[in-house]
Amino acid sequence: MKKLATIAVAVLALASCAPKQPATVAEYEYPFQNPALPIDERVENIISLLTLEEKAGLLQDGTISIDRLGIPAYFWWSEACHGITGDGVTVFPQSIGLAASFDEAQQLEIYKAVSDEARAKWNMTEPVFNKTHANCNGWSHGLSFWCPNVNIFRDPRWGRGQETCGEDPFLAGVMGTATVKGMQGDDPKYFKTIACGKHFAVHSGPESKRHIFDAHVSARDLWETYLPAFRMLVKDGHVQQVMGAYQRFEGVPCNASDKLLGEILRGKWNYDGVVVSDCGAIDNFYVKGRHETHPDAASASAAAILAGCDIECGDNFQDYLPEAVKRGLLTEEDINCTLRRTFRELFKLGIFDPAEGNPWKDFGPEVISSEKNAEIAHEAARKTMVLLKNEGAVLPLKAGLKKIAVVGPNADNTYMQLGNYSGTPTDEHTLSIVDAIRKQAGDAEVFYCKACNHVTEETEGNVDLAQLSADVADSDVIIVVTGLTASLEGEEMEVPYEGFCGGDRTRIELPSIQQDLVKAMHATGKPVVVVNCSGSAIAFGGIEDQYDALVQAWYGGQAAGLAVADVLFGKYNPAGRLPLTFYASTDQLGDFEDYGMKGKTYRYFEGKPLYAFGYGLSYTTFEYGKAKVKGAKHVITIPVTNTGSVDGDEVVQVYIKALDDPDAPIKTLKGFKRVNIPAGATVKVKIELGDRAFEYYDAAADDLSVKSGRYEILYGSSSNDEDLQSISLTI
């Protein structure tokens, strides 16, 4: 099998004919081809062999090939938001759903599986030669993946929030770091793949203005809200790529920001990896009607390189960097500095080495969409499910039901389950929600009707609700599967319906046609269970009294249908928790374009949400005992007892409140752990807070620092005050 990771000329044989024993130096035409040499020496050699035009062509998302040196093209842009892209791959739950699991260990396991499939796909890919211009015809065929997205989901109207880990910086940092570690691996010589933290920084909509928007925030919001997750990726995860955002920050495009890329990322954090631009972001510098901060493509390209941007998703670097050098806008050595970072990553991926030393050389088609990975996806989907309401213990469904009605636009919609930035799973691993319910319903009749489309303005497919009510009147329970799809919320797209704009939403209420459906089903007098599938928070405040139970199912990936049915029929005890606030209505939100955090997210919102951050129910009950904090690392030990009759997981959460800092968040998550507790058992849950838990913005340092003073450590099952106990602590 041929490998793109080998050189296809005399200097290096393809993997199928690579030497069995280590080659001698004499067998290599150039030092860069010798895997026994230090990487820095190999990097300097390969750079010395290139012309200026070739160097420029190697700084694109899709590089040119250097055929005279046997260097194939490489495609920096691959996607693995929740599974690699392509057909017949394993599709895990969308990132926002994985965040709802509050399971760091599972996150690591998932992205180990994702990177397994990535290496297998790489091994099946032929080298690309005779490529003379930057284009992405090899998209998603590389080993560098543009995930995770750790932007803060500060406002539920943002369409791309589904790609994130929610509204909390600590949760985003923990889950994002686990993603990075799973993708990059722990081999001492090679990166398994390369992960990319995006979008740096202060980025979360609006999608319709991302090419012209200028974000301004206070220093406090910058350091306490928008940067911590990225810092964790860099400091703890050792992420190898960071992607600059589209918009301007304080008047400067993020991909040319000395403050973001120079002062903070490469300065304070000592980041020495690669920075990539988002696709077309350099165009924004000079294209009329966008940022227009630079006069032309050459000056824009030079500014990005000098600020520390290394790879452009686009064509400007190849087309205009040589011109920029000739005009004196930068030097060839400036370009060499950039190439040192990019080539170092390619060498660390094993791109130029024989296959024998590659730990993943034998991964093949059997790894992709394997039964093992399907089981991981199924368990992951189960763990994402959040039970938000369960009046009268209508769930789990009781045995002996005669008729179950399943209605709603997402009930038989497997496309919806995938979310955005998704591959396509195999049919054998995918069931719709209604089909999964049929599979588990036993002798019960399952009546199904789509009932309506997703939004009011659509009419085709909508049925007469009076007739539908009559059809389901003899049901024992009615399951209404509501929500959105990635064609309604997502990245910069046209959505021609009221309440939607450019991929974002202007209102967060469940679309009115679906509200009407829920109300009609409630009017039958039968128990109503709403299963909501969306990548963002839905406001149910106007119809909260119209359903008996509510399950938030997100976009659960290929196994979403199975996971929903498992929860409904009691085969799985739900324990997911909300990674973002579910507000009662749009009226509780502020200005979408205001990036200041006042009034936003549980950390600053002073109103009463419908369902709070960190909230979620179970089929059992838990009781928290008195916790203790000990040691210099501030280890908190919390006794938790399962007081119910069934085994279950509990997500133990720890928040910090700074009593001597009036501008600090109301409370902020600083620790969590998902633990399984058998019925009747007590588990002592230990969470190490460390010094970082007490870091807040320090104006003197223009950074975070540990602040002395009085604190409350709050611990419990959600961010709701009534769900928390407290311990006083002075630092």
Q: pLDDT by residue (tens digit) across 670-689?
A: 999 999 999 999 999 999 99
Residues designated catalytic: 278, 489
Tokens linked to 395: 């769930």
The phi, psi pair for 22, rounded to 5°, reads: -55, 135
Domains of the chain: 15-366 (3.20.20.300), 377-604 (3.40.50.1700), 622-730 (2.60.40.10)
Q: Are 244 and 305 in contact (CB under 8 A)?
A: no
Q: Count Cβ atoms within 10 A of the Cβ of residue 317 and give its class: 0-12 exposed, 13-18 middle, 19 or more buried.
A: buried
Alpha carbon distance 202, 217 (integer Å): 8
Tokens of 716: 């419990």
pLDDT-based confidence at 140, cuts 50/70/90?
A: confident
Residue 604: closest CA among 536, 656, 668, 537 = 668
The mean pLDDT value for 398-402 works out to 96
Q: Give the per-residue pLDDT at 139.
A: 66
Beta bridge partners of 658: 711
DSSP label at residue 22: P
Task: Give the mean model confidence (pLDDT) for residues 172-194.
Answer: 98
Share of the chain above pLDDT 90, in %: 94
Rounded average pLDDT over 81-104: 98
Condensed to tens digits (0 to 9), the pLDDT of residues 202-254 reads 999 999 999 999 999 999 999 999 999 999 999 999 999 999 999 999 999 99
What tens digit of pLDDT does each residue of 356-365 get?
999 999 999 9
Pairing of strands 710-716, 648-658: antiparallel
User: Chain-centre distance of CA 54, in angstroms?
Assistant: 34
Task: Provide CB contacts within 8 A for 323, sequence distance 6+.
Answer: 298
pLDDT for 12 beyond 50: no
pLDDT, residue 26, reads 53
What is the rounded CA–CA span in Å between residue 162 and residue 486?
9
* CA 351 – CA 191 distance, rounded (Å): 11
Average pLDDT over residues 178-189: 98
Entry pTM: 0.95
571-610 confidence digits (pLDDT tens): 999 999 999 999 999 999 999 999 999 999 999 999 999 9
Would you state the pLDDT for residue 2?
Answer: 34
307-329 average pLDDT score: 98
What is the pLDDT confidence band of residue 18, given thresholds at 50, 70 and 90? very low
Contact yes or no for 215/203 (Cβ under 8 A): yes
Place of tokens 């319910």: 437
Q: What is the number of alpha carbons within 13 Å of residue 710 lying toward its C-beta?
A: 6
Taking the C-alpha atoms of residue 395 and residue 383, their distance in angstroms, rounded to an integer, is 17
CA atoms of 80 and 114, how far apart (whole Å): 7
Q: What is the mean pLDDT of the chain?
A: 95
Q: Phi and psi of 77, rounded to 5°?
A: -95, 105
* pLDDT band at residue 148 under the 50/70/90 scheme: very high
First and final C-alpha spacing in the chain: 60
Give the pLDDT of residue 452: 96
Q: Which two tokens stand for residue 536?
A: 């963002």
Can you tell me the distance from the alpha carbon of 647 to that of 266, in angstroms, rounded to the nearest whole number? 48
- Closest listed residue to residue 673, CA positions, set 626, 640, 696, 712: 640
User: Which residue, among 50, 32, 26, 22, has the nearest Cα to 352 in the 3D structure?
Assistant: 32
Three-class DSSP labels, 57-125: HCCECECCCEHHHCECCCECCECCCCCCCCECCCCCCCHHHHHHCCCHHHHHHHHHHHHHHHHHHHHCC
Element (H, E) at 170: helix 169-184
Query: 3-state class of 371 per DSSP?
Result: helix
CA gap 665, 653 in Å, rounded: 16
Q: What is the pLDDT of residues 608-618, one digit of tens each?
A: 999 999 999 99
Query: What does the pLDDT read at residue 11?
Result: 32
So what's the pLDDT on residue 5?
36
Q: Above 90 in pLDDT, residue 7?
A: no
The CB density around residue 697, as the number of other CB atoms within 10 Å, is 21
- For residue 298, the surrounding DSSP H or E stretch is helix 297-307
The model's pLDDT over 432-461, given as tens digits with 9 standing for 90+, comes to 999 999 999 999 999 999 999 999 766 667
The pLDDT of residue 173 is 98
pLDDT tens-digit map of 297-311: 999 999 999 999 999
Structure tokens given for 226: 């928008």
Please say if the pLDDT value at position 558 is more than 70: yes
